[in-house]
């Protein structure tokens, strides 16, 4: 029996590297990725967010413009879902959320409970749910395009779970890594994983304990900013209490906190000076973080 191959397609820059002409690879995508110019085909679609909380708009929306708990979708998204012929997985309660979907024969509830029963409830992104379902269906050859999880929220909250599932795919045995056609190919006796080299997922040049910390040179500047923040906080605290010309501010003297009376005008001038110093340190840190040759 021929081994199934699945490609999960997101919307980060490497999505266009998906091998559209390779019909032996199933194309799984999500949300409104179909709107990207050049998106050619899909064999399965996903949108896990509650259907009754989709906020449709013809114009791009910023998060602060959305009603609390709602998710931006392009105008016509419901109609696009309704007109599909490929399997579309929606929220398990989509029929309660949108009764009109009863006539959408190709739509099905995402098997969340079954996947949680196998993997537990540690899931932090849609691609993670998709990968878990592929593994549950016996797929051992998965390629991932356009899923970088590189913004601060994605990096902290979502990438660890996604990488965990990649480990589940490859298993505990010996694995090899080869680079071909701008992709990293991880192989083991239990699975195969393909990632574009452009994706930061499963990539980090720094090796803990054996390499210097990449940001070690920033520590002195970070310490100066920390001290300035403490001084600024003391002054702000002093200015908050009372309306007399003088304010009691705590200062560190020989390792001890000592109260001192100072004119409010002097303290306000000191705040301006501290802000200027902090801006200087921030600028220095920015220059120190800029790669050589980049301006």
| Residues 70 and 166 reside in one and the same domain | yes
The pLDDT score that the predictor gives to residue 292 is: 52
The pLDDT score that the predictor gives to residue 193 is: 98
CA angle, corner 98, sides to 94 and 102, nearest 5?
80
| Residues 36 and 159 reside in one and the same domain | yes
The pLDDT score that the predictor gives to residue 218 is: 87
Q: Are 202 and 186 in contact (CB under 8 A)?
A: yes
| Residues 13 and 119 reside in one and the same domain | yes
| Residues 192 and 65 reside in one and the same domain | yes
| Residues 128 and 221 reside in one and the same domain | no
| Residues 15 and 156 reside in one and the same domain | yes
| Residues 268 and 144 reside in one and the same domain | no
| Residues 32 and 93 reside in one and the same domain | yes
Number of domains in the chain: 2
> Tokens 């009109």 label which residue?
100
The per-residue pLDDT string of the chain (295 residues; one tens digit each, 9 = 90 and over) reads: 578 999 999 999 999 999 999 999 999 999 999 999 999 999 999 999 999 999 988 888 888 888 888 999 999 999 999 999 999 999 999 999 999 999 999 999 999 999 999 999 999 999 999 999 999 999 999 999 999 998 877 878 999 999 999 999 999 999 999 999 999 999 999 999 999 999 999 998 888 889 888 778 888 999 999 999 999 998 998 888 777 888 888 887 887 888 888 988 999 999 999 999 999 999 988 888 776 544 4
Q: Are 6 and 26 in contact (CB under 8 A)?
A: yes
Residue closest to 275 by CA, chosen among 221, 224, 238, 229 = 229
pTM: 0.79
| Residues 223 and 108 reside in one and the same domain | no
Structural domain range at position 281:
216-289
């Amino acid at each position: 029996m021929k081994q199934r191959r699945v490609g999960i397609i997101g919307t980060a820059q490497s999505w266009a590297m998906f091998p559209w002409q390779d019909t032996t690879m199933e194309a799984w995508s999500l949300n409104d990725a179909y709107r990207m110019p050049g998106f050619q085909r899909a064999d399965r679609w996903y949108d896990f967010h509650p259907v009754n909380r989709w906020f449709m708009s013809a114009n791009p929306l910023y998060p602060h413009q959305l009603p609390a708990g709602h998710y931006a979708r392009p105008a016509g998204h419901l109609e696009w879902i309704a007109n599909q012929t490929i399997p579309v997985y929606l929220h398990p309660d989509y029929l309660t959320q949108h009764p009109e979907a009863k006539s959408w024969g190709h739509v099905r509830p995402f098997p969340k409970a079954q996947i949680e029963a196998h993997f537990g409830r540690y899931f932090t992104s849609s691609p993670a749910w998709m990968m878990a379902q592929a593994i549950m269906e016996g797929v051992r050859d998965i390629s991932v395009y356009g899923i970088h999880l590189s913004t601060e929220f994605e990096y902290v909250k979502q990438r660890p779970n996604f990488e965990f599932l990649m480990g589940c795919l490859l298993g505990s045995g010996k694995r090899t890594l080869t680079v071909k056609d701008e992709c990293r190919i991880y192989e083991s006796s239990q699975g195969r994983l393909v990632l574009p080299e452009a994706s930061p997922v499963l990539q980090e040049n720094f090796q803990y304990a054996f390499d210097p910390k990449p940001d070690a040179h920033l520590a002195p500047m970070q310490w100066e900013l920390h001290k300035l923040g403490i001084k600024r906080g003391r002054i702000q605290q002093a200015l908050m209490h009372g309306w007399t010309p003088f304010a009691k501010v705590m200062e560190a003297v020989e390792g001890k906190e000592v109260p001192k009376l100072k004119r409010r005008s002097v303290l306000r001038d000191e705040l301006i000076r501290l802000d200027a110093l902090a801006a200087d340190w921030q600028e220095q840190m920015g220059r120190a973080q800029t790669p050589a040759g980049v301006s």
